[in-house]
Structure 1
């Protein structure tokens, strides 16, 4: 039976929290020792990374299921998770990683001397459901071959030096629900195909890049559950179709772009708790519906809004900086309207 995206999400996040909680991972009650081929591959990876101190426990004379930064399947002895966090590790991602055929979780994070491009051998990891390579100095493109990882639910390539356009083929990932590409040097437009992801999408982070053009209209048909962050790009045009009473988005950040649309008649989803529209060219009035929301964060500063700030809800609890530098916005917490 096919799992729902929420079930997949729970399973992946639960396993990841377990993985992050322990500095050295192994399953004590295993039926099988570590797979010999996996152990050989891990030693190749260690050698390719110049035998760093962080992998000192990777000793060929011990069971590799007891090595640091790994998790094994208790029934097969196959490596199912590999996570290296921090550390004085330099070089490229070893292509041998692609030989860990049972790998479900791969995390390489906060390794500033990790350089080069993402190796194509990662496309062989057919069981991979969680891929995080972040806070490194990886360069090159976001590889289109990642679309071959059909079990991938979370893809995080944030905080790197990736360049080029976003491959439209990522929309072919049938189980993907969380995508992080923020803090890179990506250019071009957001692919129109991104409005046709299967299932419910929880998180989309494309902020702090060099993206241009409009948000694809196809986004209006996609159900975002939690967060969209498109801030600090050079995106333009009308993004009002991201709103609507029928949506379930909780946090939306469109700040520091070139968006221009009339805010006056927009309806907001009841689920919305954080909204940042600052530093754009948005015009019109603030809708009365804003006062009905249980907002925890709001910023509409540096736009071209006019009229009185609606009274009620939490709108007067925000400081004047929330509304600052608009064409003719007035009313508490700004000066009274004439």
Structure 2
């Protein structure tokens, strides 16, 4: 029976029933204690109602003691545009297919949980997504190439998982924007797809994987890349052959690879905020100019025969 609260509450009754079922499926955790049947769900913690139609538009559950899987009931919130499940270390299982019903979803964050299994290709059906953050989980398997079909994606976080295989060739053919991509701390291998030369990235973090080959596809006068971290991989190429860098480049981290040759003179023309080429096989004198002498020796040390300030003088 509907109590008097139904007459005054903003929250849609169907949404309220759905949220209460979600709470039950999650084991009635204390973090959702404000979710009660005799109160307006637009006033509950961790949810937000749309100002225009009073439907649930945002569900954010953070740092709760929840031992459960993501309930299928979550697919019954048709106006949801933000779903964040973060720092729920006992949240297990896989991403349920029912999530594809959330066609208005712009932000999907499932981070710092114990979700496992493959990253599902059906996420490519969420065409409104601008942010997909699946970092700090235990996802394994390969990266679904279908993620390049997300036309509005602005940032893709797949870092800190157990992903294997290579970077999909499709990442050189994003159907819309080219997102900032974070793939660090996985077990990715193989060479960089040549198709990536076709797109302009702004931020790319491939650090701490087992990637090989060379990186020239990301550099050039007409590129727009700003921040790159390729550290702690197995890249091996002649750095001196890359003689053009985009003026937009501000962060370049190449440490702990097998890069050889000399540092290109054109690095002196960049307004670099951060640079690290340590633990490679570089030789020759550090070019003088720009900001290359602003860093301490840790940015350059443990190379084969690199010299010049801030390292020892060349002889």
Q: Does 1:132 align with 2:76?
A: no
Question: What is the distance in 2 between the residues matched to 1:98 and 1:145?
Answer: 14
User: What's the counterpart of residue 231 of structure 1?
Assistant: 207
Q: Does the CA contact (< 8 Å) of 1:32 and 1:74 recur in 2?
A: no
- Which residue of 131, 152, 177 corresponds with 1:154? 131
Q: What's 1:65 paired with?
A: 42
Q: Does 2:31 match 1:54?
A: yes
- Residue 248 of structure 1, CA deviation: 1.5
Where in structure 2 are there 5+ consecutive unaligned residues? 1-7
> Match of 2:122, SS?
helix
Q: Which runs of 5+ in 1 are unaligned?
A: 1-30
Provide Cα deviations, 1:159-193, integer angstroms capped at 9, x if missing partner: 00001111111111111121000000000111100
Q: What is the total number of aligned residue pairs between the two structures? A: 307
Distance 1:334 1:198 in 2: 46
- Give 1:241 shift: 1.1
Q: Deviations over 1:214-245 (max 9, x none)?
A: 111111111212x1000000000122111112
- Give 1:43 deviation, angstroms: 0.5
CA distance in 2, matches of 1:205, 1:191: 14
Map residues 138-287 of structure 1 onto 2, 5 A cutoff.
138-225=115-202, 227-266=203-242, 267-287=244-264
The corresponding residue for 1:43 is 20
TM-score by length of 2: 0.95
Cα distance per residue 1:53-91 (max 9 Å; x no partner): 111111111111111111111221211110011121221
Match of 2:293, SS state, is helix
Task: Work out whether residues 32 and 77 of structure 1, in 8 Å CA contact, stay in contact via their aligned partners in 2.
Answer: no
How far did residue 300 of structure 1 move?
0.4
Within 5 Å, which residues of 2 pair with 1:305-316?
A: 305-316=282-293
Alpha-carbon deviation of 1:32? 7.9
* TM superposition shift of 1:290: 1.1
Q: Structure 2 matches for 1:90-109, cutoff 5 A?
A: 90-109=67-86
Asked if 1 retains the 8 angstrom alpha-carbon contact of 2:232 and 2:257, the reply is: yes
1:250-269 deviation line (CA, Å, top 9, x unaligned): 11000111111221132111
Distance 2:307 2:232 in 1: 22
Indicate the SS of the match to 1:135: strand
Q: Secondary structure at the match of 2:75?
A: helix
Q: Is the 8 A contact 2:153 2:179 kept in 1?
A: no
> C-alpha separation between the residues in 2 aligned to 1:74 and 1:314?
50
